[in-house]
Amino acid sequence: MNSRGQTTWKKRMVTLAVTVLVVGLMYLLFQNLSKFDYRSILHTVKSYSALSIGLAVLFTAVSYLLMGGYDWLGQRYIGKRQNWKRTLLVAFYSYVLSLNVGLSIVSSSAVRYKMYQGWGYSPKDIAKLIVFASVSFWLGLAVLAGVALCASEVSFDGAYPIPDALVRPVGLLMALAGVAYVLACRFSKSGLSFWGRRLALPDWKAGIGQIGITVADTVAAATALYFLIPDQNLSFFAFTSIFCIAFFGGLVSSTPGGIGVFETVFLLFLPTSADNNELLAALLVYRAIYFLLPLLVACSLFAVLEGKSVMGVAGPRMAKAQGWLSVIAPRLLSAFIFAGGLLLLLAGSLPSNTLHAEWLEGLFPLPLIQLSHFAVSLIGLVLLFLAYGIKRKIDSAYYLTLLVLCVAAPLSLLRGDGIGMGLVLAVMAGILAPCRRYFYRKSSLLDLNMESGSVLAVLLAVGSSIYLGLFVYHHGAYEDQSWWQFELDGEKPRFLRTSFGIALLGFLLAGYKLIHTARPDAGEPFWKKREAVERILATSSVASANLALMGDKRFFFNEQESAFIMFRISGKTWVSMGDPVGDPQAFKELIREFRETAARFGGQPVFYQASKDHLFNYVDVGLRPVKVGEIARVRLADFTLEGSKRQSMRSRLKRAAKKGCSFEVLSQADALLEMKTLRAISDEWLTAKKSKEKGFSLGYFDEAYLANFRIAVVRVEGEIVAFTNIWETKSRQELSIDLMRYTHLAPPSVMEFLFVELIQWAKAEGFSFFDLRVAPLSGITVGNAVPIAHKLLDLVFNHGENFYGFRGIRSYKERFNPEWEPIYVASPGSWRLPFVTADVTRVVSSRPAKASGAAA
């Protein structure tokens, strides 16, 4: 099996493992259907007192308030001043998303990144804070579970019992993990190393605080559920240990809110003497209070803020918050819409309210009522898919969701759900309505490729609704003729028809995706879009953007053709050369569209030599930036040959001048007249270096390419002995060099002579910066503590640009006293990186090729 096949195989195996886990747990619960009674569960839900509900809500609020402690301690850890209002805000929104969306680390990290970035935190500080919070949670959860297991006096004799001989030893090991961590905080000076990374530890008091915050938060969350469970003769310690295991299972499953997994694990590990109906009722109410209620509160607060903004009554703080609101809005509303779709599906599997149904029969014909029931359930399935479009900020998803909600609200009344469901749908439409500006992407909903996690969530939601119907009606037989019984009280036939309709619609959507594989635009060749490329280049302030004129890349434009990405394809990796070029306002959306287009081909994007200015845009589409070097930029206004520090440079220039060296900048017309001489110099240089021309990130000798630039030359006694082509920007913001070639007749210091003279010429011409290009791996310490990504990406530079000899290049460029700016490779992380690196290496080290018809 080749590397590409291994990559695909591993990715599928991870998805398959999670799917098997979820389906397996649901199957185990389905096996125990006989233990549950729908009417008994419903009776228990209705019997909860206001005090029990109130206490559950109170401890839920306490739990969410305590979640702010992770960020508060994290801010102390990175040495930042704590602002409790901001801390609570970022914690509330990030944890609401992580608990309801699934993939908690990914969903909460994106929110944290944008919010803290808006408050002036550096990417490094944000990353450290996120890691600190994650370590705090998982460590504290393990310690609490361990202590609870050790203190519990009840045997775990549930459906899948834990042997008593293992309970306390396992609990002790988990508790000792916390003790070991605190001791490491106290005595370790170098921190901890794992997976090639080094984690600096806080002081021992902060270490205790990390564990304490998680313990308090989890105890509050568990207490909220404990007040909902009737007397089960179960100690709080035993209950808490089961709660921790179930909570852990829900998080690992990566399903939205751990739905189904949390409940199943909880029920399976409880003692067999427990009343399963009362327990399941408690778990359902708990899910509504601990998961859905905070989501509703978060969406409502957001809708209020957005409404003020739309009406023009928002204050200056609201204006500052727009950056992080743009990140929160799609994710928050997506979770809300998904919850609404799931609610409609589940309600469609339950019997209708008898009194309400009889009242409807007196007003509307039976076929209309039956059709409403069928339609609203299908609308629930549609909302599950639309939630993904909302998350991806698709404008058509916004309009269609709003329309569907407005249609579903009155139809739910006809279905017999009562006014409550219609009111919920109306509220959802009201919250979504003012948020139009967050949905600006133009894309077909049918052409979207859903991520495996989203597909699993939809399948789980549909499976849960069918499972619920089977559970409610499992006491009766499913005769074939019952499908077509259209009666007001024919609940079972109605459920069967609805389930069949949902399955059929899902099959049709899946079939469309399999058959209609519309090939997206994979970019345009240079010869076809040269005019647009040159027009956009004229607006760029980055000199290296002139690599677009080489003709060996394809171009991916935004709809307005105000910006482009230049790239080549190797295997399934779409390698962009640098950042997008053109209008910076278009970059964020262009990067997103580039990623989505690559995904339709089954590929992944990589941005090679990306700058620090657009890191968040790469993170926002799921890429991981890794620093691979630095760019040296000379601020021309400050450059001078005066002073003692320039003595050696002046001496070398004088020696070159004594040997007859003179500097000249040839116009494009004059350069064409000297092209044969320049070709001869280039060929001699390549022969002497035993090298061949490279492409992509480096220019190469091609008359058509060099005709675009002025050429700086060094003459000795009138003969050209060295040259370089000059990359310029129309704004005169930056100037740089590309090819650097010389003959054996050139004196040893010819290139430094060329550099210095060109820098002084650029200064006289009014340019602001001179770009000395890349110093690979500059500023990176290579060693055991360096992430494996740095070591792998080192291969790109060693094999892709090694014939220029980068050893010692930083020290050489330091002579010009430049400003160093980091450059990155933004790529998919984790286990895919080695294969992506191989593809990037092939692109960078490949020989020049004209990007004509097919993608190179």
CA distance 103 to 253: 8
Alpha-carbon span 476 to 18, nearest angstrom: 33
- Of 440, 438, 430, 439, the C-alpha closest to 304 is 430
Measured distance CA(587)–CA(546) in Å, rounded: 18
Residue 641 near residue 634 (C-beta atoms within 8 A):
no
pLDDT tens string 712-745: 999 998 899 999 999 999 999 999 999 899 999 8
Supply 740's token pair.
């650097």
Answer whether residue 75 is part of any domain: no
- What secondary structure letter does DSSP report for 674? T
Residue 435 included in any domain: yes
Please state whether beta strands 734-742 and 719-728 pair in parallel, antiparallel, or not at all (unpaired).
antiparallel
Cβ distance 585 to 558 under 8 Å? no
Q: What is the dihedral of CA 426, 427, 429, 435, to 10 degrees?
A: 160
In this structure, are residues 56 and 227 in contact, taking their beta carbons and an 8 Å threshold?
Answer: yes
Q: Is the pLDDT of residue 177 over 50?
A: yes
Give residue 469's domain range.
329-516
- Same domain (yes/no): 507, 648: no
State the pLDDT at residue 356: 56
Calpha distance 348→84 (Å, rounded): 43
| Nearest in space to 394 (alpha carbons), one of 327, 450, 445, 324 | 445
Q: Does pLDDT of 648 surpass 60?
A: yes
Within-domain flag for 307 = no
CB of 412 closer than 8 Å to CB of 425:
yes
511 and 638, same domain (yes or no): no
Beta bridge partners of 525: 554
| 519 three-class SS | coil
Looking up residue 646, the CATH number of its domain turns out to be 3.40.630.30
Non-local (6+) Cβ contacts of 31 within 8 A are none
Question: Distance between CA atoms of 386 and 432, rounded to whole angstroms?
Answer: 13
Rounded CA gap, 81 and 664, in Å? Answer: 55
Q: What is the CA radius of gyration of the chain?
A: 32
* 603 Cβ contact list (under 8 Å, min separation 6): 569, 571, 572, 573, 574
User: Which of 50-59, 90-99, 442-451 has maximum average pLDDT?
Assistant: 50-59
pLDDT at residue number 796: 45
Residue 790 lies in a domain: no
Rounded percentage of the chain residues whose pLDDT exceeds 90? 20
- CB 386, CB 337: distance < 8 Å: yes
Residues 123, 131: Cα–Cα separation, whole Å: 12
Cα-Cα end-to-end distance for the chain? 24
Question: Which tokens sit at 281?
Answer: 């009722």
Cα(603)–Cα(574) distance, rounded to whole angstroms? Answer: 7
Q: Indicate yes or no: pTM above 0.85.
A: no
Most confident of 121-130, 461-470, 778-787: 121-130
Residue 804: the pLDDT is 43
Q: Determine, yes or no, domain membership for 602.
A: no
The sign of the torsion formed by the CA atoms of 800, 801, 805, 811 equals: negative
Mean pLDDT of 398-413: 87
* Calpha distance 305→431 (Å, rounded): 11
Please give the angle made by the CA atoms of 629, 631 and 636, to the nearest 5 degrees: 160
Distance CA 596, CA 781 (A): 34
* Last residue within a domain, chosen from 486, 516, 546: 516
Residue type, position 329, single letter: A
Does residue 797 carry a pLDDT above 80? no
Residue with tokens 């490779």, as numbered in its chain: 825
376 within domain boundaries: yes
Q: Is residue 449 included in any domain, yes or no?
A: yes
In this structure, the strands spanning 711-716 and 563-570 are unpaired
Do residues 344 and 485 both lie within one domain?
yes
pLDDT band at 56 (very low <50, low <70, confident <90, very high): very high
Tens digit of pLDDT for each residue in 107-117?
566 667 767 77
- The dihedral built from the CA positions of residue 396, 397, 402 and 403, taken in this order, carries a sign that is positive
Between helix 491-515 and helix 366-391 the angle, nearest 10°, is 40
**Quick check: 89 pLDDT over 90?**
no
Query: Which range among 142-156, 350-364, 400-414 shows the weakest confidence by mean pLDDT?
Result: 350-364
Confidence of residue 265 (pLDDT cuts 50, 70, 90): confident
How far is the C-alpha of 738 from the C-alpha of 754, rounded, in Å? 13
187 in a domain, yes or no? Answer: no
> 38 CB contacts (<8 Å, ≥6 apart)?
471, 472
Element (H, E) at 739: strand 734-742
Across residues 83-99, what is the average pLDDT? 80
Domains: count for the chain? 2
Type of residue found at 455: V
Domain boundary among 499, 516, 533: 516
Tell me, what's the pLDDT at 124? 77
The per-residue pLDDT for range 542-592, each reduced to its tens digit, is 999 999 999 889 999 998 899 999 999 887 789 999 999 999 999 998 998
- pLDDT tens digits, 157-173: 554 455 666 767 887 88
The arithmetic mean of pLDDT across residues 200-218, rounded, is 87
Domain endpoint, select from 458, 486, 516 = 516
Q: How many CA atoms within 13 Å lie on the side-chain side of 717? A: 4
- 19-29 as b/e: b if 16+ CB within 10 A: bebbeebbeeb
Ramachandran area for residue 258 (φ above 0: left; ψ -120 to 50: alpha; else beta): left
Query: Is residue 506 domain-shared with residue 639, that is, in the same domain?
Result: no
Q: Could you tell me the CA-to-CA distances from 519 to 397, 513, 523, 559 in Å, in that order?
A: 21, 12, 12, 17
pLDDT tens, position by position, 331-346: 888 888 888 888 888 8
DSSP 815-846: GG-PEEEEEEEEE--GGGHHHHHHHHHHHHHS
